[in-house]
Amino acid sequence: MVPDDPDGPADDTTNEMTFNWDGIRTGFVTCVPVALGVAGYGIAFGVLADRAGLTVAETALMSATVLAGASQIIAVELWSDPVPAAAIVLAVFAVNLRYSLMGAALRPWFRHLSATRSYLSLFFMADENWALTIRDLTSGSGRGAFLLGSGLAMWVFWVVSSVVGVAVGGVIDDPAMYGLDYILAATFIALAVELWDGASTVVPWTVALVTALVTAQVLSGHWHVIAGGGAAAIVEMVRRG
């Protein structure tokens, strides 16, 4: 295989990178419709958090400091008494590992920003606003603050909708009746369709699927996520070697 030049894409970013109020505002405004959609997902998370026994304050704290939807839903699904802390933290880490790659993909642009600005912005990175940011930066806008602005929109809608979910969770009898329990699966299916890359994804996805199905039969909790993802990465490493 021909090794990729890691600095290659940087050649497209010769334009000046800015980090200002305009970038924050543009990112925020662009992301509002998407964040509104994600808020439906936040309500579903709040309902699950309520069922797991979390208080409004605890749910708000989690959404405000973690800001990673799928992992938060998995965490509250694993929640029981006593709290399986190690399993939860490990599952959260495994589910969120993809963020490392997303963050790495921003390097061609973020290398022009200070460390403080880069790592502050990355706190607010979620799947949806990462995609919007990549789209904006690829267009050559030079808006270094786009991730921060779009992330702030995600943060506001996510925290508020989580709280609404916990509050409504006491009223809604059965989220399944409104299809709320299906939001995670629906989101992941839609994401899978977007990530599907034809032949190159067949082997790793099959390995992940089979490993996850087998692991789920043997282990409870969400260890199948770690097993499936890990197996796919290892097989891919061997395949490319």
Partner 1 sequence: MSSRAAARLLSWRWSAVANTFTLDPVVVTVIAAMAVVTYLTKGGGLWLLTHVEISDRVEASLEVLPGAIIVAVLGPELASGGPPEWLAGGVVAAVAWKTGNILLALVTGVGAIVIFRTVL
The footprint of partner 1 on residues 199-228 (CB under 8 A) is 201, 204-205, 207-209, 211-213, 216, 222, 224-225, 227-228
Question: What residues from 18 to 47 belong to the interface with partner 1 (CB under 8 A)?
Answer: 33-34, 37, 40-41
Residues paired with residue 18 on neighbouring β-strands, in sequence order: 143
Task: Name which of 24 and 226 has its Cβ closer to partner 1.
Answer: 226
Please tell me whether residue 50 binds partner 1 under the rule CB under 8 A. yes
Q: Phi and psi (nearest 5°) for 52?
A: -80, -10
Residues in contact with partner 1, counted by CB under 8 A, come to a total of 105
Alpha helices in 52-106 (DSSP H): 56-65, 69-78, 85-96, 98-105
What is d(CA 196, CA 4) in angstroms, rounded to the nearest whole number? 21
Binding residue (CB under 8 A) for partner 1 from 29, 80, 135, 234 = 234
For residues 91 to 110, the per-residue mask of contacts with partner 1, x marking binding by CB under 8 A and - elsewhere, is -xxxxxxxxxxxxxxxx--x
User: Minimum distance between the CB of residue 100 and partner 1, rounded to whole angstroms?
Assistant: 3
Question: What residues from 72 to 91 belong to the interface with partner 1 (CB under 8 A)?
Answer: 72, 74-75, 83, 85, 88-89
Task: Name which of 15 and 239 has its Cβ closer to partner 1.
Answer: 239
Q: Taking the mean position of all CA atoms in its chain, how far away is CA 38?
A: 11
Cα distances (angstroms) measured from residue 36 to each of 39, 57, 153, 161, 175: 5, 22, 9, 9, 19
- For tokens 């399944």, the residue is 176
Task: Name which of 29 and 190 has its Cβ closer to partner 1.
Answer: 190
Please tell me whether residue 154 binds partner 1 under the rule CB under 8 A. no
Torsion of CA 109, 120, 25, 43, to 10 degrees: 120
**Count of residues in the chain:** 241
What is d(CA 92, CA 42) in angstroms, rounded to the nearest whole number? 17
Cβ neighbors of 13 (< 8 A, separation 6 or more) are: 108, 109, 112, 137, 140, 142
Please tell me whether residue 8 binds partner 1 under the rule CB under 8 A. no
Task: Name which of 125 and 145 has its Cβ closer to partner 1.
Answer: 125
For residues 159 to 198, the per-residue mask of contacts with partner 1, x marking binding by CB under 8 A and - elsewhere, is -------x--xx-----xxxxx-xxxxxxxxxxxxxxxx-
Please tell me whether residue 137 binds partner 1 under the rule CB under 8 A. no
User: Minimum distance between the CB of residue 11 and partner 1, rounded to whole angstroms?
Assistant: 16
